[in-house]
A and B are shown apart, each in its own frame.
Chain A
Amino acid sequence: MVRSSLPRSAAAALALPLLLGGCAASGTPPLSIATEFTDAVASGDGADACALLTQRAAADVEEQTGSPCAAGVVTLDLPTSTPSAAEAWGGEAFAESTEAALFLTRDGESWLVRAAGCVEAVVEAPFECIVDGS
């Protein structure tokens, strides 16, 4: 499920459409990018995976592994189950599988992964992520 920033039924009822945030995002949806990322990690294709990370997330991989991102990302034991749902709010998005979640940020018409392998250790607290570009 991919939601735009505002529920469509609610947005339709609003009297001030020009003021409302959250026109449906154009370009590649965040669920597709999240799926591409987990698929790349699952198939050991570090270069493709790193191409989908933000600069800060790629730097975090390199710092943790002491290797270039493409070599290091596949050694981090990131969950590889395919995300089944995503939702976007403004310039940020969230995709979740049964194992873990990914946080994405808008990059032009597409999205980049900002954090991956994230689990909610404490309810309502920030997720703890294996790759954290925040």
Chain B
Amino acid sequence: MKRFLRDNGIGLGFGLAFLVVLVAQSFAGWAAFNQQQISDHLGEIGYFDYLTSASFAVDVSENWQSEYLQFSLYIAALVWLVQRGSPDSKKVEHVGVGSDEDERLGRFAEVDSPGPVHAGGWRLRLYSNSLVLVMGGIFFLSWFVQSVTGNAAFNAEQLASLQRPQSWLEYLASADFWNRTFQNWQSELLAVGSMSVLAIYLRQRGSPESKDVGAPHSETGS
């Protein structure tokens, strides 16, 4: 058991922290929602009604989509973009999808390489891009959920202000949708870009996200 916990520390640790913070968000969001209801002279709602509300769903999904976009872009862009001196980057001369030898494919495959590597063909092509496909798929799904739930939450606010509700297509062209979207995207792009550059010069001893403390600034890759 102890070994299992140690061997799965990242998944379990972040998974547990995610659930705790999601519950905390739900209570804070519920309180904020009811404060707004009181301001609008409307009835307060119960906690479980808030959990199934569009307001909670859009607040969750707009953050999910931007996080998955961040990592999808990072995974895909770093095939072609490099940053000399950054532990996140490949060596600058390795720009591109890499050789079979680099990627342990074909005759360089190992006995315990994943099944699609030995199968080759379309299964290998699919598997070779599976990480970005799944992360990108979650991004698009979360963004779609944001658009639907954002439309519902926006329309509830419109009606509270005695304004006409909008269709989903109208909402896709609305300032509210793009404001929610862009405010999340800019922060994610700033965070990954700045981390990649700061890690050229700064270190965190023991972290795989950092170069070794004694590594020179010019060394690329961790």
Q: Which residues of A contact B (CB under 8 A)?
A: 5-7, 10-11, 13-16, 18-23, 56, 87, 89-94, 103, 105-107, 115, 118, 120, 124-127, 129, 132-134
| A20 in contact with B54 given A14-B148, A103-B159, A126-B162 (CB within 8 Å) | yes
State whether A92 touches B156 (Cβ < 8 A).
yes
Give the interface SS of chain B, mostly helix, strand, loop or mixed.
helix
State whether A20 touches B164 (Cβ < 8 A).
no
Nearest residue, chain B, Cβ from A134: B162
State whether B165 touches A10 (Cβ < 8 A).
no
State whether A126 touches B149 (Cβ < 8 A).
no
State whether A56 touches B148 (Cβ < 8 A).
no
State whether A7 touches B145 (Cβ < 8 A).
no
Interface size on B (CB < 8 Å)? 32
Can you spell out 28 A-B residue pairs with CB atoms less than 8 angstroms apart?
A: A10-B168, A14-B145, A16-B57, A16-B61, A19-B56, A19-B57, A19-B149, A20-B54, A20-B145, A21-B52, A21-B54, A21-B57, A21-B152, A22-B53, A22-B54, A89-B152, A89-B159, A90-B55, A90-B153, A92-B42, A92-B155, A94-B159, A105-B42, A118-B162, A129-B162, A133-B41, A134-B160, A134-B162
Query: Does B141 sit within 8 A of A, measured CB to CB?
Result: yes
Nearest residue, chain A, Cβ from B57: A19
State whether B165 touches A90 (Cβ < 8 A).
no
| Contacting residues, chain A, for B161 (C-beta < 8 A) | 126, 134
Expressed in whole angstroms, the Cα–Cα distance for A134 and B158 within the complex equals: 12
Q: Which of B54, B61, B160 contacts A6 (CB 8 A)?
A: B54
| Contacting residues, chain A, for B159 (C-beta < 8 A) | 89, 92-94, 103
* 10 further A-B pairs in the complex, CB-CB below 8 A; given A90-B153, A133-B41, A134-B161: A5-B152, A10-B168, A19-B56, A22-B54, A87-B165, A89-B156, A89-B159, A94-B165, A105-B43, A127-B164
| Contacting residues, chain B, for A21 (C-beta < 8 A) | 52-57, 149, 152-153
Expressed in whole angstroms, the Cα–Cα distance for A93 and B56 within the complex equals: 19
Query: Does B163 sit within 8 A of A, measured CB to CB?
Result: yes
